[in-house]
Structure 1
Amino acid sequence: MQPRLTYRQHARAVLGLGLPLIGSHVAQFAITFTDAIMLGWYSVEALAAEVLGGTMFFVLFIMGSGFAWAVMPMVASAQATGAIPQVRRVTRMGLWASILFSLATLPLMLGSGALFDRMGQEPATAALAADYLEIAGLGILPALMVMVLKSYLAALERTAVVLWVTLGAVALNAAINYLLIFGHFGFPELGVQGAAIASLGVNIASFVVLGVYVHRSAPEHAIFQRFWRPDPEALGRVFRLGWPIGLTNLAEVGLFASASVMMGWLGTLPLAAHGIAMQITSVIFMIHLGLSNVATVRAGQAHGRGDGTALRDGARVVLGLSAAVALATMALLLLLPDLLVGLFLAPDDPDRAEVIAIGRQLLAAAALFQLVDAAQVQALGLLRGVQDTRVPMVIAALSYWAVGVPVSYLLGFTFGLGGPGIWLGLASGLALAGVFMLVRFWRWSVRQIPSQPSSLRQQG
């Protein structure tokens, strides 16, 4: 039995594991962030196309990431109980599930042009977005495999390497963007296609580096040894835990993707402003996502030990830290909107003033959902840690799609509020999800685990 940790000790453990994870998430998002800034300086049309194409890629990527995120609590629980073979089995089958998902979704991205036309997007923007996805879409396979390896390493609390590899990816992406978007140093000027080539190259390089590291640093797990051999039992467990996570991710990201489609109905400039506001708020979300991953790992460890006291205390600490970040970022969004939006636009862009004006309104709406967004993502992380994924999936689907999307449409179009109305609809869906998921965790999941830790036991 382990002694009860103080809240300060929990906070130190959370920050020790969480800061590298937060840094890696921010760095990972910095790749997309860099694309948006450079394409915004290239042209507003290129930026709008990347928003559209990048949104579709991200929707499919985040859905497929459910299998990677399923690996995290399973590895954390197995490692906590010394079940080393389970670590190898679930990680390997997480990679298998990611490969199968990638092969199934790749045709959607290669044929995205027709889909964008049916969504009512402007023809020029749709064509550019399809050009982007024909190249960048190939990167979903290495990108999802990278996510599995990151989840495996995070569960083992080896987060420093994840941070450094991701920082290297940011630098590589920026360099290739500089050469291929603008055509510097004799390279062809490819615009949005240059950004796509950079994204593909970075995803491949990241997988190679992390794969080599895992192979050399953890020989006891032998993740890639006899990789070709199927393991139906472990694949089934990864699938059963992962598909609800994937659909939950899809429900949330689909909420924001639907907002992108609706903003596209308002025109190219509102869509560009929406893309910029999404970039800004997504950087903030990466902080909460890093803390949510810590919540999953710590909850998974407590779940493996049967330690309900550590589970509850750790949950309070993670929720408190996330709330503090949310309050700070609310002030940032309300006080410095013009500066933040202006970073994405060339000083002499003729549309600069109008895009900033629209973006200012969107960031004001975004400030309203910082606390509820933080609450729902931490609740999801805690629920995944105790391997409770199906009910949260239902909560997410109903909150985001039965409430968030309809309210966005009503406020944005029926009541004529435009972009701010669409974003206020997002806030309503996130608020409902946050409340019900927190209730789910405290009233159900926590009660399934006793207050005091049980003896260590083998899992699986």
Structure 2
Amino acid sequence: MADKSISQTPWRDEARALIALSVPLIIGNLGWSGIAATDLLLLGRIGPDAVAAGSLGFNVYMAVLIFGIGLTTAASPLIASERGQRLHSVRDIRRTVRQSVWAASMICLPSWIVLWHAEHILILIGQDPELSAGAAEMVRALQWALLPYLAYMILRNFVAALERPMWGVVVTLIAVPFNALAGWVLIFGHLGFPALGLQGAGLASLSTAIFMFLGMAAVISLDRQFRRYHLFGRFWVADWNRFRTVWRVGLPIAVTLALEVTVFNAAVFLMGLIDRPSLAAHAIAMQLSALVFMVPMGIGQAATVRVGYFHGRRDPAAVGRAGWLALAFGTGFALCSATLLLTAPRFLVSGFIDVDLPANAHVTALAISFLSIAALFQLGDCGQAVGAGVLRGLQDTRVPMIFAAVGYWVIGIGVGTLLAFPLGMKGLGIWLGLASGLAVVAVLVIWRWTRRDRLGLVPH
């Protein structure tokens, strides 16, 4: 997209630019969800134990991957800001991409050591030894996907920061059937390959991660606009100041995402302390909420780029326009999604279980009640996702990390545990706690956004 947006840009043009950037990012997020679901669907054909072991293994891997994604997310606001500055932008952007890959490589070695011992970790936290062994079989193949996938994410952030995110969508959407084919071949043993089961699922995801990285690398090497950055030239040359900047911006994002993911993992554990129907209903409601979350997540990612671009241009008026429009879009979507969750919960739950079966009546009722709370926290969830996105565009990540720690763990888990157990609200109490935590984080990040000028977050 041409760099035509300056301080006189009307609100309508900024809205169009934000939508044009958000939609491909949302589609890309949904595509990644499809990739993650494919392996579990294929493992379901083996049996419930394979699904359980695969889920355990995938969750261990995701805990590490999310941290890496958070760290490499720093590339997005940094590149957008460098693009806005224009002077030496090609050189600066190239160095940011290079040092982001260096940072990703740096965290892979300790991550691989941790993942190699997944079986011992799972047994240590009380998981079934047989399922833990199966999970480790998958993880020991899957763990090698970490570096190529993080490298792909950095390249995706690069093309998104240049406001050409559609290439990331194309690669992701091709990767969905590629992963399904690789899983079919390696899990069940087709086309002359042996049936590898859980290990095959890990190898399929590894193959897909390599495919996605090579796909983005090919696009960047062949496209004229991308090629001029020479991203892959002299990759061994260090830029220690920029390397430290990537860590300064990215580490708080990594911790924030880790706090967010682990709080929902903790909610699963708390549900397990109640009863199996509550755990099953929670899984259904959370799957729906996670699917809905892909939209505000995409809006937040787009806001990071747009705000970051104007941050580099030192244009406070345009920064405000981009941020407020993103928050308005997030709020509008939250109202729509809340309406859907409130008016059609039974229909939504029917996509996961037979709601007319008497044996499922209790789980159905619980899932519907959880979705009513999910409707309430749509505003909080969208607010915190988009609010964090606009602050990342200003390279403001440390204080939002503290907000996340307080909101997710002190408020979310604290209130949820209090309501669920001492006050006897059970699963509904846990969901009210999560809603409270999300609301607190949303209020805090938006409050900080309103004070951006006083806090000196916007250069003039």
Structure 2 length-normalised TM: 0.89
- Alpha-carbon distance in structure 2 between the residues aligned to 1:192 and 1:273: 26
Q: Name the structure 1 match of 2:395.
A: 387
Give the whole-Å Cα distance in 2 for the aligned partners of 1:80 and 1:212: 26
Displacement of 1:318:
0.9
- Displacement, 1:403? 1.6
- 3-state SS of the aligned residue for 2:157? helix
Which segment drifts farther, 255-264 or 202-211? 255-264
Q: Within 5 A, what are the aligned runs for 1:15-26?
A: 15-26=19-30
> Distance between the aligned counterparts of 1:360 and 1:214, measured in 2?
46
Q: Determine whether 1:90 maps to 2:96.
A: yes
* Paired position in structure 1 for 2:341: 333
For 1:48 and 1:335, the matched residues in 2 are separated by: 32
Per-residue displacement from partner, 1:289-321 (whole Å, max 9, x unpaired)?
111011101111111111111111221211111
2:105 maps to: 99
Q: 2:320 aligns with which of 312, 315, 339?
A: 312
Q: Which residue of 2 aligns with 1:373?
A: 381
Alignment of 1:239 onto 2:260: no
**Aligned runs of 1:56-135 on 2, under 5 Å?**
56-82=60-86, 83-135=89-141
Match of 1:5 in 2: 9
| Contact 2:53-2:131 at 8 Å conserved across structures | yes
Letter in 2 for 1:67: L
CA contact (8 A) 1:53 1:133 kept: yes
**Pair 1:33–1:411, CA change in 2 (3 A):** farther
Deviation track 1:30-82 (CA, whole Å, cap 9, x = no partner) reads 21233444445654444444443323322221211123211111111111222
Deviation at 1:166, TM superposition (A): 0.4
Taking the aligned partners of 1:272 and 1:178, their CA distance within structure 2 comes to: 27
- 1:151 is aligned to 2:157: yes
1:226 equivalent to 2:230? Answer: no
> How far apart are residue 338 of structure 1 and its match?
4.2
Q: Name the amino acid aligned to 1:256.
A: F
The amino acid of 2:289's aligned partner reads T
Is 293-302 or 77-86 further displaced after alignment? 77-86
Task: Choose which of 292, 295, 298 in structure 2 pairs with 1:287.
Answer: 295
CA contact (8 A) 2:189 2:196 kept: yes
Q: Specify the alignment match of 2:214 in structure 1.
A: 208
Amino acid across the alignment from 2:376: L
C-alpha distance in 1, partners of 2:321/2:249? 25
Decide whether the 8 Å contact of 2:394 with 2:457 is kept in 1.
no
1:138 matches 2:154? no
Query: C-alpha distance in 1, partners of 2:106/2:430?
Result: 35
Select 1:53's aligned residue among 43, 54, 57. 57
- Residue 162 (str. 1) matches residue 174 (str. 2): no
Larger deviation: 4-13 or 242-251? 4-13
In the alignment, residue 342 of structure 2 is paired with which amino acid? L
The 1:385/1:278 distance shift into structure 2, 3 A limit, reads same
Q: 1:298–1:385: 8 Å Cα contact kept in structure 2?
A: yes
The residue identity in structure 2 corresponding to 1:146 is: Y
- Give SS of 1:283's match: helix
Unmatched 5+ stretches in structure 1:
455-460
- 1:458 corresponds to which residue? none
RMSD: 2.9
Q: Where does structure 2 lack aligned partners over 5 or more consecutive residues? A: none
Q: Secondary structure at the residue paired with 1:397? A: helix
Aligned with 1:259 (options 258, 267, 289):
267
| In structure 2, C-alpha distance between the alignment counterparts of 1:174 and 1:353, rounded to whole Å | 33
Secondary structure of the 2:228 match is coil
Residue from 33, 39, 47 that aligns with 2:37: 33
1:40–1:345 Cα contact (<8 Å) kept: no
Q: State the one-letter code of the partner of 1:161.
A: W
Q: After alignment, is 240-249 or 400-409 more displaced?
A: 400-409
1:7 Cα deviation (Å)?
2.4
Is the 1:68–1:94 contact (alpha carbons within 8 Å) kept by the matching residues of 2?
yes
TM value normalised by structure 1:
0.89
Using the alignment, how far apart are the partners of 2:181 and 2:289 within structure 1? 24
Query: How far has the Cα of 1:341 moved from its partner?
Result: 4.0
Q: In the alignment, which of 173, 178, 185 is matched to residue 179 of structure 2?
A: 173
Give me the whole-angstrom Cα distance separating, in 1, the residues matched to 2:40 and 2:10.
43
